[in-house]
Each structure stands twice: as structure tokens, then as C-alpha cells.
Structure 1
Amino acid sequence: MKRSWVDGQPCTGMPVDDRGLAYGDGLFETIRVEAGQAWLLERHLQRLADGCERLGIPCDQAATRAELLEFCHELVRGVAKLIVTRGTGQRGYAQPKPCHPRRLLLGSALPDYPAHNWQAGVRLFPCATRLAEQPLLAGIKHLNRLEQVLARAEWHDPAYAEGLLRDCTGRVIEGVFSNLFVVRDGALLTASLHRCGVAGVMRAEIIDQARQLGIVTAVRDLAYDELLAADEVFLCNSVYGIWPVTALAEHAWPVGALTRKLQAVVADLSRES
């Protein structure tokens, strides 16, 4: 199943001078669609709006929302990838003035992840690729994902469902396509993303839900030794929800009670969407 729209109209291509292609000048959201509805819709749109503001892309939020809702209704079930670029531009880095952003929507089937990932947990591959620090881009889901491309190329063994990414000083940041949480003494910890990394919408939802449940939750720098010493570890993203992590190299963790509790919360949210 493949379908695509450009600026609200079915289309199979886009101009070769688009700045998203030339420079990665844009942002994207990857959205789970169930029964024609976008999961975590408001969080996705808010992150996109925040990213557009930071990059200075004057995106039409009303048009973006309307197109996304219609696209998801037609898709019914699958993954909608929403891309906003700065649009067409001449050669050179200077931003075009006036700027005419371009909106793309790409539809595909849901990934066929094994049920084992949710139930028994996954192994993490220790990636050698390190994330560079760039506070101007940290947190937003911009189009340049070459670090993730290089990291994902490091392993081919299907025994590993995800890879661990650290920054250049060795701090734990995230997975290649997910965010990471650790549980220590009943508290929930996740890495600060003010230097690098992507602030996932599922990460934000889990932080809010955990705090509502009275779970002590902290967002701060996370040392590698803290990860190894954790009682529980899990990954999350907006398509698959939560996967427990059971191993990284020679280190192993059980699938813990707090991970299971938050999995149930996420499952309830998906049924409510």
C-alpha cells in the first residue's frame, strides 16, 4: 500500500529543486493511523509547529491539519508520514524570499513487528555511531537523519531490534528510531535532549502519563553506567508503543512491573484514539 499527496493533491513526485531534497531543509512526523484516525494527533501537530517556528518555516497549520485528517481518513490503517519542506529554492543556502513551504503526505502499511518485541522484549545493538551536538536542532525531527542511517547500517543480525545511540561524550541519548527510558528504584528516567536527539511524541506522552500516575519522573543527562545499573529499560515510539529491553551486549534486564504498567497505559490510549 503506497499513496502520496503534495499540497493536498494526489501526486507521485515533487520538484527536483525542493530544499528538502537539496539540504534536508524541513521536518517530518511519522503518525500511526487506526480506523482513519491519527494517533497522538495533537502532539504531532504541536511538535511540527514548534519545529517550523525554530527553523523559520511559515507552515499553514490549518491546511496541514485538514490535509492530514483527510489523508488519514482515506488511509484507514497504516502509517502517515507528514513532511514539510521550505519549498522550492534557487542554488545556495540562502533561504528563498518569499518562502512557499511544501507539504507532503506519504502513506504505507504498518510495520510487521514481531509480537515478541512487546511481550518478551528486545536486544539493543551498541552502535559505534555517535550523535553530534547541535542545540539549534536538538529535539526537533528535521529531515537530516544521516546519523541514524549510518547507525542502522551497523547491524544486520535480526536478533537486534534496535540500536543504542550515545553522544560524543558517551551519554545515553536514544535508540536509532525510538526514545529510551530506564527505571531505577521505582523512578523513571529519560535523557535530556537539549544537545541532540529527537523529542518523540510517545516519549512526551509517557512522561505526562507517568507523572499523572504519581511515578517519580526525571528528564536529565543519563550516563552509560546508569543505564547498565538500571532495574528496567524500555524503548518507545509513536508507531509501536513500548518495547521492553532485555539485553545490551553482555548486560541483561528483566521485563519489569513498571514497564508492563506503562505498556497497559499506552494500549488504553490506542483504544481511545
Structure 2
Amino acid sequence: MALVWIDGRPADLLPVTDRGLAYGDGLFETIAVRQGQIALLERHLQRLGEGARRLLLPLDLAPVRAELLAFAAELGHGVAKLIVTRGDGQRGYAPPAAARCRRILSGTPPPAYPPAHRLHGVRLHPCATRLAEQPLLAGLKHLNRLEQVLARAEWQDPACAEGLMLDRSGRVIEGVFSNLFLVAGGALLTPSLERCGVAGVMRAEILARAELAGIPARVVDIDRAQLLAADEVFLCNSQFGIWPVVELEDHVWPVGNLTRTLQGLLGDLVDG
């Protein structure tokens, strides 16, 4: 049975008046826990704080931090999912004047991804579902994930480990549950997330570690032609680290040297 806390206490019931349930009015973080410690804690809190600021959620991060540390110590090893909603509300979209955020923490075992994904690379499914452009929500890990639900429903082939998502204008944005990087001319490139997409904590960590290592890196708009012309392509998220991408339809890429270098730089954050 999953470990579940609501507002800092073990619980398994949620009021039907919660605005997260009614409207997706909230945010979430999916956090890797290893030996009772939280990987990338500060990056998760920074993104959560930015999301709360932009959604006008009255969230105090100090008790959230303390709660996460206590929860991770009890979970030990696995995935902690933190959901923050605006709390209870009446019928209608208008936020309550005195909102009280609700915190929902659930812990599950770590995902059992095949080691071959990290070692030999993965194949991408080209998703027909496109991401809507909404700058007000761009970058946030908000609770409205129906685009990802529809995209993930497009394929059942286990040979495809992830899906490639574009926006309505045809720009490459991300995977269904990961961020994307490519290598071109020795530089590391990742799509701009100013219009849509989720600004992943592992994406931020890769950009920071690349800078420290002297690897040129840029955030830019990327189209499909640029993706196909790349020397290397890889995916990342906070659970699996980096997966090289080796195939999209009839196009193939090698598992490149820079991808391997970055996997090495992140070795302290990833199991295996």
C-alpha cells in the first residue's frame, strides 16, 4: 500500500470540495527519494515556489520543506509525489478569498525502467497530440495533464519508451514525461519553454552542470528538421536521469560522446 500524508498526517480521504479535484487548481512535484534523501530538493522547491507565485497560491515553502524531509525519511527509497491544491472551495471558478492550500504526499516504489534504456537508448513515438501554447502556464508542473494523457494513449508498442510532443506551431517541445536535448556542432540545445511545456528539474540541473563543465548550452526554438539533423538526442527527467534517443520513425541517431559525458556527470543523482 502506498504511503500517503495529507497536510502532514497519514490519511487516505480527500474532500470532494477540493479545487485540485474540481478544476486541477494546483501544482505537483514528482521527487526521487534514495536512502531517505531527496534528490534535487532545492530545484523542486524553487519550481514549486514559482508555480505558487504565478497561480497566486498562498503557499509557505518552509513547512513544505520540513514535511518533505520527514516523508522521505519514512519512505526510504522510491518516488514521493507532492500535490499542492488551493484547498477547499465552493462551486464556481472564482478562487476563495481565504484559500488554504492542501498538501498531498504519496510514496511509491521506484519505477522499474529497463537498464537498456540508459545503456542503449530508446525509440520515440511521434505524438499527434499537440501542446497548446499558453505562456501564463508555460514551464509550470500544474495539475492539468490531459494533453499528456491523450498523447500517452496514442501508443501501446513497448518498443517506444517515450513520445515526442510538438506545439501547435510545429516546434519541438518535450517528451510526454521528460524534457529533450540535442547536440549540434558540439553545443547542447534544449527547446524553449516560454509558450508551453514543463521546465523539468533535471533539465535545469543538466544546464547548470554543463556550464560548470564548460559545455556550451543554449535554450532555443527547435523545429523537427533541426531535431532530425542533430548529432545526438537524449531525454531526461528526475527519475531516470538521461536516456539516449536512437530512433524516431525511420530516423536514427547514435549514442554520442556528449550524452555519455552528461550521464557520467549526473551519476550521483541516478540509480544504477
TM over 0.5: yes
Counterpart of 1:131, as a letter, is L
Paired AA for residue 219 in structure 2: V
Task: Describe the SS at the equivalent of 2:127.
Answer: strand
2:184 paired with 1:184? yes
Q: Structure 1 CA distance, aligned partners of 2:128 and 2:236? A: 21
Q: Does 1:18 align with 2:15?
A: no
* Corresponding letter in the other structure for 2:104: L
- Alpha-carbon shift at residue 270 of structure 1 (Å): 4.6
Paired AA for residue 40 in structure 1? L
**CA offset digits 1:78-99 (Å, max 9, x no partner):** 0000110000000000000101
What is the CA-CA distance between 1:269 and the residue it aligns to?
Answer: 4.1
Listed as ranges, the gaps of 5+ residues in structure 1 are: none
C-alpha offsets along residues 120-142 of structure 1, whole Å, 9 cap, x if unaligned? 00000000000000000000100
What residue in structure 2 maps to residue 90 of structure 1?
Answer: 90
Match of 2:221 in 1: 221
Tell me if the contact between 2:178 and 2:236 (Cα under 8 Å) persists in the aligned partners.
yes
Instruction: State the secondary structure of the residue aligned to 1:130.
Output: coil
Shift in Å at residue 13 of structure 1? 1.6
Is residue 242 from structure 1 mapped to residue 254 from structure 2 by the alignment?
A: no
Aligned-partner residue type, residue 201 of structure 1:
V
Letter in 2 for 1:198: V
- One-letter code aligned to 1:168: R
Write the distance in 2 (CA, Å) between the matches of 1:169 and 1:270.
34
State the SS of the aligned residue for 1:128. Answer: coil
Tell me which amino acid in the other structure corresponds to 1:237: N
Q: Quick one: distance in 1 between partners of 2:8 and 2:146?
A: 28
Q: Give the equivalent residue in structure 1 for 2:151.
A: 151
Structure 2 counterparts to residues 69-80 of structure 1, below 5 A: 69-80=69-80
Stretches of structure 2 that go unaligned for 5 or more consecutive residues are none
Alpha-carbon separation, structure 2, partners of 1:220 and 1:4: 39
RMSD over aligned Cα, in angstroms?
0.8
Shift of 1:216: 1.0
Alignment of 1:119-138 (within 5 A): 119-138=119-138
Using structure 2 for the length normalisation, give the TM-score: 0.98
Write the letter of the residue equivalent to 1:161.
Answer: A
Number of aligned positions between the proteins = 271
Residues 19-34 of structure 1 mapped to structure 2, 5 A cutoff: 19-34=19-34
Counterpart secondary structure, 1:129: coil
Q: What is the SS of the residue equivalent to 1:190?
A: strand
1:201-212 superposed matches below 5 A: 201-212=201-212
Amino acid corresponding to residue 45 of structure 1 in structure 2: L
Deviation track 1:233-262 (CA, whole Å, cap 9, x = no partner) reads 000000110000000000000000000000
* Runs of 4+ with >2 A deviation: 268-271
